[in-house]
Amino acid sequence: MATATAVRVSAPAPAGAPRKKRYGGLTPWLFAIPALAVYATFLVYPALTSLFFSFTNWDGLSPGYDIVGVDNYVKMTQDPVVRQALLNNLIWTVVTIVVPVIIGLALATLLNGKVRGKTALRLLFYTPCVLPLVSIASIWGWLYNPDSGVINEVLRTVGLGNLAQPWLGQDSTALWAVMVPAVWLRTGFPMLLYLAALQGIPDELYEAATVDGATKSQQFWHITMPSLRPAHYIVLALSLIDSFKVFDMIYAMTYGGPGTATQVMGTWMYANVFQYYQAGYGTAIAVVITVIAVAVSIPYVLSQTKEHT
């Protein structure tokens, strides 16, 4: 004998129902208050405070200051170090995005196939991403040592001693020398994302292409690359944001020197605030860095929002 069981299903609220009843009134906001309080205390308040001090001549130590309006921003347009820092930021961004992405994609494609020891190789190539930046800077600083560094020692050993030089101590090589460990550090991230994306491509697509006579190269350009479009977008957006706010690697290896050869916006901001006691001017530089990072991240955030709505 069948037993009828009544199942109570909540009916959707009618279109004309009051908004408060449909969305639970204030209850969701009560749960969000702790997170909003933390967000406001540690992000919104410091950001607004920095924005305010960017319009002052505060030295960072004295209790008093004068409001100077947009003078700090006008000064930035006339500061040759800012122009040099922006150029270095641009070079750094292009090199530390393009090279790791190309190498990461190549490694992911290689390690997605039948390669002996691929698990160990994946771990090996990703390991730099989890190492402390200070450790990486120290290791590469020792490798670049002009007298006892491994790089110059190897060059002398193979008879290329004329190429041995102070890599971090001269204008012509310092920025490029710092970018080498940055590329080494950043390659594991795109490799991991591309590897995950490659494993999501159905094998049937490649089997059908093989039956149709497509070569490996044609399969890569017409199946693999279009299928990796979401991964391309994530890698490029996050790498672009990360590259433009670079500070730690350069500061740990060269302090922005020699001269202004490796100066970027982040190190120049730090120098003005903590070395030259021009906190007002330094916070103006920080505001500009933030605006650029936010502008770069907006397309990425909008795309992610559309995908989840």
pLDDT digits (tens, 9 = 90+) for 177-222: 999 999 998 899 899 999 999 988 898 898 899 998 888 889 989 9
Contact 261, 85 (CB under 8 A): no
Read off the pLDDT of each residue in 30-49 and give the average, rounded to a whole number.
90
Token couple for 194: 């591309």
How far apart are the C-alpha atoms of 186 and 179, rounded to whole Å? 10
pLDDT for 23 = 57
DSSP 168: T
Q: What does pTM read for this prediction?
A: 0.81
How far, rounded to the nearest angstrom, does the alpha carbon of residue 75 sit from its chain's CA centroid? Answer: 28
Contact 187, 128 (CB under 8 A): yes
How far apart are the C-alpha atoms of 269 and 290, rounded to whole Å? 12
pLDDT for 181 = 92
Q: How many CB atoms lie within 10 A of CB 35?
A: 9
How far apart are the C-alpha atoms of 279 and 300, rounded to whole Å? 32
pLDDT band at 3 (very low <50, low <70, confident <90, very high): very low
What residue ranges define each of the domains in the chain, with the CATH number in brackets?
56-307 (1.10.3720.10)
Contact 264, 85 (CB under 8 A): yes
Give yes or no for residue 7 having a pLDDT over 50: no
pLDDT for 26 = 79
